[in-house]
Amino acid sequence: MAYDQWLYERVKNSLTEKRVNFEERKMFGGICFMIDNKMCLGVNNEQLMVRLNPNIYEEVLKEPGCRSMDFTGRPMKGFVYAENEGIEDDVRLDKWIQRGLDFNPLAKASKKKRSKNESYV
């Protein structure tokens, strides 16, 4: 798994300082921070993945260090990567983290897959 350990620690420390309950999961070749069972933030290579309000998606793409999340070959609206100058200092990084946290209560959790043995009630 390839992700920037220093960026991971910075995100983890920020969430801990904010007293956010989170769970870490290995995803997308990196690590994802789940909040309320919803993907919120992640670290992949040297970039921060942020799930944010789709209503501000086009606007934030114009910011330095921001680009669409397109690991599938298609941009995923509401998901961006922040990298380089966009996260170089803690103030900028915290701005991106806060955007993810602000949208998280509005985001929908993905449906859990049923196991083969699970029956319908």
Residue 112 lies in a domain: no
Residue 120 lies in a domain: no
Nearest to 57 by CA among 25, 90, 82: 82
Domain that holds residue 93: 5-106
pLDDT at 29: 83
Residue 108 has pLDDT above 60, yes or no: yes
Count: domains in the chain: 1
17: domain CATH number is: 3.90.1150.30
Average pLDDT over residues 43-64: 95
What's the distance, CA 14 to chain centroid? 13
How far, in Å, CA of 54 to CA of 66, rounded? 14
Residue 97 lies in a domain: yes
pLDDT digits (tens, 9 = 90+) for 61-87: 999 999 999 877 888 889 999 999 999
pLDDT at 70: 84
pLDDT at 59: 96
How far, in Å, CA of 99 to CA of 57, rounded? 11
Residue 71 lies in a domain: yes
Q: Is the pTM of this model over 0.75?
A: yes
Task: Give the number of other CB atoms < 10 A from CB of residue 16.
Answer: 10
